Amino acid sequence: MTWPSRRGDAAEIALKFPGRAEQWGRALRTGDPLADAVFAELATRGRDARRALLDGLRGGLGSLDSPPPAVAALLADAESVTSPYDIDRGAYVALTVPPFAHNIALGQGALINTYTAPAIATVLTATGRLTTMAGRRLDETGKWLLQAMLPGGLERGADGYTATVMVRVLHARMRAAALERGWDEEAWGTPIGQADLVRTWLDFTLTSYRALAVMGYDFTDDELTDVYRRWQHQGRLLGIDPALLDGLTGHEEAAKLADLIALTDEPATADTLALVRALQDAAVEQLAPFFGGPDLTASLIRAFARLIQGDERADTLAVPPSELTPLLPVLTLGAAESRRLARQLPDEWAALQHNHRAAIDEILAAPDTPTAYESNLT
Question: In this predicted model, what pLDDT tens digit does every residue of 364-374 receive, in sequence order?
Answer: 998 876 666 66
- Residue 216 in any domain: the answer is yes
What is the tens place of the pLDDT at every residue in 71-86?
999 999 999 999 999 9
- Residue 64 in any domain: the answer is no
The CB-based long-range contact list for 323-328 (8 Å cut-off, 24+ gap) reads 323/299, 324/296, 324/299, 324/300, 327/303, 328/303, 328/304
Name the residue range of residue 90's domain.
10-30+81-375
Rounded to an integer, what distance in angstroms lies between the CA atom of residue 71 and that of residue 41? 8
- Residue 57 in any domain: the answer is no
- Residue 297 in any domain: the answer is yes
Q: State residue 378's pLDDT score.
A: 52
- Residue 60 in any domain: the answer is no
The helix, strand and coil proportions of the chain, stated in percent and rounded to the nearest 5, come to 70, 0, 30
CB 233 within 8 A of CB 204: no
- Residue 44 in any domain: the answer is no
- Residue 76 in any domain: the answer is no
Q: What is the pTM of this model?
A: 0.95
Non-local CB neighbours of 147 within 8 Å, separated by 6+ positions: 153, 158, 159, 160, 163, 364
Q: How many domains does the chain have?
A: 1
What is the tens place of the pLDDT at every residue in 91-149?
999 999 999 999 999 999 999 999 999 999 989 887 665 566 677 888 899 999 999 99
Mean pLDDT taken over the chain: 94
